[in-house]
Structures are given as structure tokens and as C-alpha cells.
Structure 1
Amino acid sequence: MKKHNILRYLWLAIGPMAILSSCTKFDESYYENPNRPNKASGTQLIANSQMYLSSVSSSAYGVHYPQYLSLTTYTDNTRFISTNLNFSTWYIGPLMNLEAVLNSEKELNANDGPVVNQIAVAKILKAFFLWHVTDRWGDVPMTEALKGMELAAPKYDKQEDIYTALFKLLDEANSSIVLSGKIKNDIVYNGDMGKWKKLGNSMHMLMALRLSKVSPDKGKAEFVKAMNAGILTSNSDNLSYPHLAESAHENFWYNSFTVQKRNWYALSEVLVNHMLPYNDPRLAVYGDKNSAGGYAGLEFGKLVPNPDVDIPKVSLFGSAIRKQDSPVHLITYAQLLFAQAEAAKLGWIGGGDSQAKTFYEEAIKQSFSQWTGENTSAAAYLSNTDIAYDANNAIEQIATQRWIHLFPYGYEGWAEWRRTGFPNLTLAADINGGNIPRREGYPTQEASNNKTNYEAAVKSFPYGGTDGLNARVWWDKP
């Protein structure tokens, strides 16, 4: 079954069955209708978890941390008024579903695909969601999480330990996958285990690069291991969440702009300034032309004084990528090429500047292909003095081009900006004291509902600080 058809029926099939139902003392099997099961299968739980992938990128908060989008109206999110955000959605949603799969291996139905592959995909997705959570908040519950009322106040695991555990989880998935056995109900790759194997290793490699400042030796070892295990090899391997041209599964930005008629999101001035002078063809995809027929960004955190007059002067978030069925890109081939370019420059892999230059140029070409459908204009783009590979400025160039490519995946763009410090982003002094956020504050209810563990986590921040936007996660070494 094609993945678009899968999406249509899963909404009804598993919406009310996010976790496996418990059993009663008497046998209910006689009363069960096989066409309307009362509990979700393993692959349905996996599919339900996949439905959360879109929200990882499509976020009213994430797009602002790396200053991809400015707000034309109601600017609180670009002024970082909210300092504490809730991580419970990820635990009671996708992570609980995946934990149910991992804890019921003996009950999984082999008719839905090899059980080892169901488990492997669940492990890869669990690693992805926990990676997302820990990179936003730092130390978070893991080993004692997902146990329900049995353990309602879980401890916070150190981010370093979480990374180590996720590397192990991805190694297990890589080694166990049977390439010949498809699984059912797979929204993302339609059961193609070769693509899942590449994705797990690609995640592993990107996670390893996060350690470039805090633990470079371990980062290098994990990076090389993952790269050699087989990563994405083309844009067709990308982890991209498919939306549908229907209201139940439509793109978040389509709903915001087209359904709710909210012209609230404009390209930031700093993003346009990094693209427009170099005739970057991606700009025409990222944003719409303004009323003057050109491209103009909006100063970050600035409220336009007269929306009717001023909004037409700036470039709104691009209509080409906010159609009802526009996909969301999460892990991409170009992103991996940028990572390898940086690894070559750091000496993690061989080839030095020559290899770094090759990866860097190919990353830009593949980014153009992903966003515009062609890369013939890449040669002219790369001929710009500021864009052409410069060994003395390579890390900044790689980081800046990666930042442009990752648009509008704000949480990933923000993570890479925190790690590298590039491009040079600034904030007005009246926005969070002029400090770009380094993490998100823990959910406010944790201070009361999980007081002891919450206070221990805050006390052990690796570089000090208080709970909020300005402390740093473990790999974000000053």
C-alpha cells in the first residue's frame, strides 16, 4: 500500500489506540471483530509515532531560535517571552508508542514484516525523538521514563549518558536489520529497510558531530563508525515527512497561512541578507516576492507598525513550501555532505581541505537539487568569492551554508548554530537581554510534580545557570 493511502486509514485505525490496551481476566477474543481490532499492532504504533515527525520541524517556536523567520504580528515568540516549554507531548505520544513496541517483541505480528525490523525501526525512531528532546532541554528523563504511574517522578539522565545510550540503540538497529523484509504501515519509507538502515546510521553520524567541542575523540570514533556503516546516498533517501492534500494531514504552514489567513511569518532580514547578494536560487523557494517584486527580510523581533502597509513590503514564508501537501525535510543528503565536509576539515576523516572542498561543493549542489529541482546554477553560486571554499574560513562557510540549507527546520538549525557559533547572529538588547537562547526551560509543572529530580537536574547544569533559556546543554561547551 502506498504511504499516502496508509496515512488516510491510520487516522481512524489507531487514533484512539496510542498504547497497547491491557487485558482483562476473561477471554474477549470471541467478541473481537478482526476488521476492527481493539488494540494497535506494532507497525500501527510505529506509524502513529511517525505522525509526530512533522511537528519536530513545523513549530511556532523552533523557527525563531536560529532566526529563520520573523513575526509580522504577535511577536512574543521572536522576543522569547516563553522561557519554559513542555516536553510531555513527546513522552506520552511517540515515545510511549515506541516503548510499547519494544516491550512487546514476543507479541508482534510477523505478518506485518519481520519482527526484528519492527524492533529496529522502533529503536531508530526512539533515538530520533529522544535526540530531539535532549537537544532542546539538556538532561531529561530516559531510563526511568515511560513507566506510567509505576514511576511518576522519573530522574533526569545526564545528556552525555543519553547520547551514549542512543549511539548503542542505533548500533543495535543497524546490526539487526534484515534488508529483504519490508514492514507494513510505514508512512516514511514504505517499508524499505535499506533506507531505514541508512537513516539510523546517518542520525548516528550527525549526533556524533554534536560532540566536536565537548568530546572530540569520542565524536570522531562514532562519526567514522556510522559513516562506514552506510548513510544516505541521495536525496531520495531523505527523511521527509509526507503531508496530504486533505485537512487531517495537511502541512502546518498551509493551515496557518491559507486556512487561518495568518500572514504572520516573514523571512528574517539576516536570512535574506545571506542569500540575496549571491543570487541564491533557494530564496525564491524559501520566500515570496514582496509588493515591489523583490525580496526583503523583516528585522528579527520587530513589530511592523502598520500591518496593512508594512507586511506587503517584506517576503512572507514561501508559498512553494507551504502547500497543503508540502513535505517536511528532517534529515537530508546535503546535510550529511556538510557534516562530512566539516569532519574532513577537523581531521576526523581523511583528505584534508581537498576532501572538505569536494564535500562542501557537493552539499551545495544537492541542497539546490532538493529545494529547486536543479543544480546547474550551483557553479555560478560557488564562483562568488564569499561562497567559494576558503581553507582559512572553512568551518564558518560550512556552518553558514548548512544553516541556509536546514531552513525551516529550526531546531536543527539552532542546534548547529549553538555548536559552531556560525553564522553570526545577534539580538537587540531588549530581547532576552541580547542573548540568543541556548536551551529551553523545563516544563513549569516539573518544579512541583517532580521537585527532587527537577532541582537535581538544574543544580547539575554542566556550565551553571538557572532553568530557562540561557543555560547550556552538555555539548554546547563555551
Structure 2
Amino acid sequence: MKQLYIGLVAIFALTATGCNKFDDDININPNNPEKASATQLIASAQQSLSNLGSAFDKNASPYGIHYPQYISGTSFTENSRYNTVNFNFYPIYAGPLMDLTEAIRLANNPNEGPIPNQIAVATVLKAYYLWHVTDRWGAVPYTEAFQGRGNFTPKYDSQQQIYDGLFKSLDEANAAFIAGGIIKNDIIYSGDMAKWKKLGNTIHMLMALRLSKVNPVKGAEEFNKAVANGIMEKNEDNFTYVHLVDEVNENFWYTSFTRKGRKWFAVSKPVVDYMQPLNDPRLPVFADKNVAGNYVGLEYGLPGSVTVVINNISLLGSALRQQNSPVYLVTYAQALFAKAEAAKLGWIPGGDADAKINYDKAIEQSILQWTNSSAGLAAFMAKPEIIYNPATGIRQIAEQRWIHLFMHGYEGWAEWRRTGYPLLSPAPNNNNLAIPRREGYPTQEISINGANYDAAVAAFPYGGADDLNARVWWDKP
């Protein structure tokens, strides 16, 4: 599996689509990948964003949604019982990360947009993917990655070093953007550099909050810097991957439910039991009613021997499994929840007063994002359990953020690991395995990059083996 380090550019993702998601000039001859431009490579990397909720394979069964218990399996329940320990980061490195590395190297065509903007957008996207990778595995190749034949066995950098490097990269991207100069082939923001700049700073801010337990002084410093540089200001700024009404670019859940007829995914009992008593306006989006007209969540982590009667439970909501249903990756409401927590922690001024303002606004924007309506908002905000209480503020913020991040499993899992909320129980009938704290490295690394693999495992910040129980750096016990 030397492809990770050789770094072949994943141009095939562009040429295989033949759809209107990209400008016509993005369709290139797969036999001449060297002709790809920086913006085409950026578009290729963007196309991989839809995979972040799964095992980075659009045709694979998803994993991230199970860790924060958003979804319960109706069949083949191994994922929700943590049976898979080792996960492969090679496709992320050899695909979007290599595309972006090459895009930064090639960004020299002013006809496709100002060069600084091409580099800045690629840098923001690369930081986002690397953030995703390090939060799943911890220490990973970083400073010695992407050297091609120059280094087949890169060292693993500590997560702290990676975070420091990504903060620096995002600072550089923020400073590099040129106002008003759009780039071509942008399938996320259509070349709007103001939105890309706000995205980079919002990612920076969310990364900073991850340091709340392990280095709050550094976290507060980076958080305030990001806010000062300008973060998301409305739902229209959301970092959203929009699928298309065609088979190649359709939503994973449409493929599973409609094209393949697999009713394998129900909304979990923890989600329904939390939302239903509060008459949460988002529940009808998240879940379908059962045949009796009720919302019934499925017990999480059932053994495979149990037969689930599909008509009795709430499957994943129909609105989320349309062919062109979007995937929300970084959102305005998410930024507001972060500001609410930062105010509660004393990282930004305002204390509980500002925590309440941002918390209330976050819930409002979350409901508007998911339902496109304010119906039921006032009644929901008046619920005693929802009204901000300084004594339980952190828990309330965390629980509402958990609901808001529904289906963005890896992000919801990261926030659960960091805050401990909501209070979740491990899957039963799974040999007493705890809810995972990280994912194990690719098994091929032992033979391909053994010395650096061994050094990384030996340097785990809180000890442990290469399994699901060791903790990443910011997940301080």
C-alpha cells in the first residue's frame, strides 16, 4: 500500500462523473493527469467530502454515525457494537489530501482565479481533512507525508504538533485571501472567497475548542484569534456538500434505502427519547414515524441474532435520504454553540449572559437549518429543560450540539469524547466493550512503516494499545 506515500493524484474522481456538477473544462483525459489544474484538483478533493460520514468509501457501511449513537442498525449490527478496530486512512491521504497538496504546488494559473485564493482554498480544505484524520487516529504522518518517492515511511507527528501546524496553516490562509477574486470549478461556494475565508476561521475556532481540557490557555488564544479574523455569520455560510439528482453523485442514504432497498438504519432510541418529550421540531426531519404513527427509536447495539420488525420503529427520516439531500459539515449553529461554550468557560467576554445569547441563537439557527421554518421554535425554547441554566450550561450546550450534529457522526463523536455529554451507555451484548475513544491504525502500517508505527503507539499520550480504547491528545481523562 505504498500509494499513500507515492501520492498518485486521484484525478479519476473527476473524469468518471461526466455530470453538471463541474464546469465542462474539468472533464479531462484520465491518461493525462498531469494536465489537471489546481482548481480541478481542488474540485476533486471537494467531491470526497461526501464520504466523511462513512468509512471514506461511498459504497461502504458507515461507522462514524454509530459512535455518538445517532443511528441503530436494524441488520448487520456489528458497526454499532464496535467490532471493527482498525481503519484505513490511506484513501484520504492518496485521494483528497494528495489532490490538495498537488493543487498548492500547481496553483500558478491566473486564468482560473487569483493564485493566492487557489492556494488559500486548498490550504483550508487540507486543514479540514487533516483535522478529521488526526481526531480519528491521533498521531499520524504529517510533516513527512506527501513526499512521494522521497519518503515511503514517514514518521508520525503527535496530535499536538499537528494541531499547532494546522493553526499556522489556517492563519496563513486567512491572510492570503484576496477579496473579490473568485476561482473556477468550486462546487461548494461557487468561488465566493468571503465564505471560504469565514470557513477557514470557523474551522480554526472549532479546533481551538478541542483544547478545552488539555490546554485551555492555548485554546482561548487560538479561539479569539479566529473569531477576530471573521467566522460564519449566517446559515448561508454553511459548509455544505450538496448531492445531485444523478446516480454518480447521489446521497449515500438514497443509495442504501432507495436504490438498494436496504432499510438498515433506524434513528436510535437515545436520540428519539431525548427529542420526543421536548417536541423538538427537528425530530420529524430526523426520523419517520412507524406504521402506527409514532416515533420509536431503536435500541442501540442490538446483537445480530435479534430480528427487528421494521414497521415498529422509526427509520432515518425520508428528507435526509433524498437523492440530492445535503451533508452539513461545518455550520453557523455549530459556531454559535462553540461561542456559547467559550463564554461559559471565560474564553470570551460576557459570561453566562453571552453564553445564553449564543446558545439560544444556536438552537434557533439549527432548527432553521434542519426544518427551514421557525414553526415550533418559541414553544421549544420555553421548555424548562431547554431554557439556559448557568448551573447546567455546559451540559445543555453539549446536548443541543449533539442533536444539531445529527448524522455528522465523527464530529458528534469528537464532541462527546471532549465533553462527556450526552451521557451515553455502551452497546449491550458486546463483551463489555466501552464506547470507542479513537480508531486503530491501518493494519498494513505494521509491515509498511513498522518502526514509525511502533514509535507512535509507544508515544500515546495516555498510554494504551493500538485499539479503540486509547485516547487522542485532547481527550484528556
TM-score under structure 1 length normalisation:
0.92
CA RMSD of aligned residues (A): 1.7
Q: Any conservation in 2 of the 1:67–1:300 contact (CA below 8 Å)?
A: yes
Q: In the alignment, is residue 48 of structure 1 matched against residue 34 of structure 2?
A: no
Counterpart residue number, 2:472: 473
Q: In the alignment, is residue 94 of structure 1 matched against residue 90 of structure 2?
A: no
Q: In the alignment, is residue 322 of structure 1 matched against residue 321 of structure 2?
A: yes
What is the CA distance between 1:15 and its match in structure 2?
Answer: 8.3
Counterpart residue number, 1:380: 379
Aligned to 1:315, the other structure's residue is in SS state coil
What is the CA distance between 1:321 and its match in structure 2?
Answer: 1.1
1:21-32 alignment, distance < 5 Å: 21=34
What is the CA distance between 1:150 and its match in structure 2?
Answer: 1.9
Counterpart residue number, 1:30: none
Counterpart residue number, 2:261: 261
Amino acid aligned to 2:416: W
1:212-227 alignment, distance < 5 Å: 212-227=212-227
Sort the Cα spacing of 1:464 and 1:300 in 2 relative to 1 into closer, same or farther, 3 A: same
What is the CA distance between 1:57 and its match in structure 2?
Answer: 2.5
Counterpart residue number, 2:15: none
More deviation, 142-151/316-325: 142-151
Counterpart residue number, 1:420: 419
Counterpart residue number, 2:9: none
After superposition, give the CA deviation of every residue in 1:422-457 in whole Å (9 maximum; x if it has no partner). Answer: 000011453262410000000000011100000000
Aligned to 1:57, the other structure's residue is in SS state coil
Q: Any conservation in 1 of the 2:291–2:311 contact (CA below 8 Å)?
A: yes
Sort the Cα spacing of 1:276 and 1:460 in 2 relative to 1 into closer, same or farther, 3 A: same
Amino acid aligned to 2:139: D
What is the CA distance between 1:242 and its match in structure 2?
Answer: 1.0
CA distance in 2, matches of 1:151, 1:356: 48
Q: Any conservation in 2 of the 1:117–1:193 contact (CA below 8 Å)?
A: yes
Q: Any conservation in 2 of the 1:179–1:193 contact (CA below 8 Å)?
A: yes
CA distance in 2, matches of 1:219, 1:15: 46
What is the CA distance between 1:16 and its match in structure 2?
Answer: 3.4
Counterpart residue number, 1:398: 397
Q: Any conservation in 2 of the 1:345–1:352 contact (CA below 8 Å)?
A: yes
1:316-395 alignment, distance < 5 Å: 316-395=315-394
Amino acid aligned to 1:69: I
Counterpart residue number, 1:26: none
Sort the Cα spacing of 1:261 and 1:12 in 2 relative to 1 into closer, same or farther, 3 A: farther
Sort the Cα spacing of 1:429 and 1:254 in 2 relative to 1 into closer, same or farther, 3 A: closer
Q: Any conservation in 2 of the 1:58–1:253 contact (CA below 8 Å)?
A: no
Q: Any conservation in 2 of the 1:6–1:185 contact (CA below 8 Å)?
A: no
CA distance in 2, matches of 1:99, 1:298: 43
After superposition, give the CA deviation of every residue in 1:281-326 in whole Å (9 maximum; x if it has no partner). Answer: 101000111111010111111147675x711111001110110001
1:66-145 alignment, distance < 5 Å: 66-105=68-107, 108-145=108-145
Q: Any conservation in 1 of the 2:65–2:407 contact (CA below 8 Å)?
A: yes
Q: In the alignment, is residue 203 of structure 1 matched against residue 203 of structure 2?
A: yes
Unpaired runs of 5+ residues, structure 2, are: 1-17, 56-61
Q: Any conservation in 2 of the 1:155–1:453 contact (CA below 8 Å)?
A: yes
After superposition, give the CA deviation of every residue in 1:353-374 in whole Å (9 maximum; x if it has no partner). Answer: 1110010011000000000011
CA distance in 2, matches of 1:134, 1:84: 14
After superposition, give the CA deviation of every residue in 1:25-49 in whole Å (9 maximum; x if it has no partner). Answer: xxxxxxxxxxxxxx21110000000
Q: How many residues align?
A: 454
Aligned to 1:385, the other structure's residue is in SS state coil
Q: Any conservation in 2 of the 1:80–1:432 contact (CA below 8 Å)?
A: no
CA distance in 2, matches of 1:393, 1:341: 13
CA distance in 1, matches of 2:301, 2:361: 34
TM-score under structure 2 length normalisation:
0.92
CA distance in 1, matches of 2:156, 2:20: 36
Give the 4+ runs in structure 1 shifted more than 4 A: 8-12, 303-307
Sort the Cα spacing of 1:6 and 1:229 in 2 relative to 1 into closer, same or farther, 3 A: farther
Counterpart residue number, 1:32: none
Sort the Cα spacing of 1:443 and 1:258 in 2 relative to 1 into closer, same or farther, 3 A: same
Q: Any conservation in 2 of the 1:202–1:336 contact (CA below 8 Å)?
A: yes
CA distance in 2, matches of 1:397, 1:121: 34
Counterpart residue number, 2:243: 243
CA distance in 1, matches of 2:346, 2:23: 49
